[in-house]
Amino acid sequence: MAPKKVDKLATVVLYTIAGVIIVILASLLGYILVQGVPHISWHFLTSPAKSFEAGGGIGIQLFNSFYLLLLSMLISVPLALGAGIYLAEYAKKNWLTDVIRTAIEILSSLPSVVVGLFGFLVFVLQFQFGFSILSGALALTMFNLPLLTRNVEDSLRQVSFMQREAGLALGLSRWETVIHVVIPEALPGIITGMILGAGRVFGEAAALIYTAGQSAPALDFTNWNPLNIASPLNPFRPAETLAVHIWKINSEGIQPDAAAVSAGASAVLIIAVLLFNLVARYVGNRIYKKMTAA
């Protein structure tokens, strides 16, 4: 067969495979949204869940998801920045850095249920945090930190070495060059990776079943004392997140409208993750244009 025909045939096959994958993903997303969006309302998004009656919402679970995500990112982002800067700018090529990078690769490929069991043994039992938002945030940090670290390292390595030479030539120290030259240049990729990581964490369920718990106590949103069990800011209270709530409804829900609540909550979760991805692309493009004057 002629090379041109082989090239056209291969192109058609690749486009067909890509098209099939897109159709499958679009069908799954479309089915979830079509089934769930009609059940979404302001009452559904703000009212608490009900275990035995119809008409419950996802207000507390939605708040728990965002609060846990915030705590997790507050812990993991500084650690990932420090580790990524060290590996990209300061770490020498030796067996120790090879071991660190191998460990990062292994941790980033662990199933979330394994991370959840680790969090249960260490944070819930050993540190005696119990089933709490703090235990869940620490478990999600272990889950998200390897990917964030690799994202920061890759973004910094993509910056041209000439940028570093220019900073040093201006009399800046190595640390000042990293802070004022390299990181601003790599910022679009770093922010995009962090927003995508946040979307990944927001939809996590398996790791939180063993750490944050499967119950959501009644909250008093007028009580801002973080030491009170009824306060939404208390990091030591159990917290059922939106993804865990969906799993729990489908596995053991007995409320009359369980199917409608599950469909609406799934649609909200999908929309939130899609928004994370769209925001990541938008913010990354805006920062890139601003930093490069493109």
Angle at 66 between CA 65 and CA 70, to 5 degrees: 120
pLDDT at 19: 93
What pLDDT digit, counting tens, does each position of 169-218 carry?
A: 888 888 888 888 888 888 888 888 888 888 888 888 888 888 988 877 77
Q: How far apart are CA 119 and CA 24, in angstroms?
A: 34
CA atoms of 111 and 104, how far apart (whole Å): 14
* CA–CA dist 275, 1 (Å, integer): 47
Confidence tier at 291 by pLDDT (50, 70, 90): low
pLDDT at 15 over 90: yes
DSSP track, 116-135: HHHHIIIIIIIS---SSHHH
Reported for 44-47, long-range contacts at CB under 8 A and 24+ positions apart, including other chains, are 44/264, 45/268
Residue 139, pLDDT above cutoff 80: yes
Is residue 174 within 8 Å of 99, Cβ to Cβ?
no
**What are the structure tokens assigned to 94, written together?**
């030796």
Q: What is the pLDDT of residue 234?
A: 87
User: For the chain, what percent of residues have pLDDT higher than 70?
Assistant: 98
Task: Determine contact, residues 256/55, Cβ cutoff 8 Å.
Answer: no
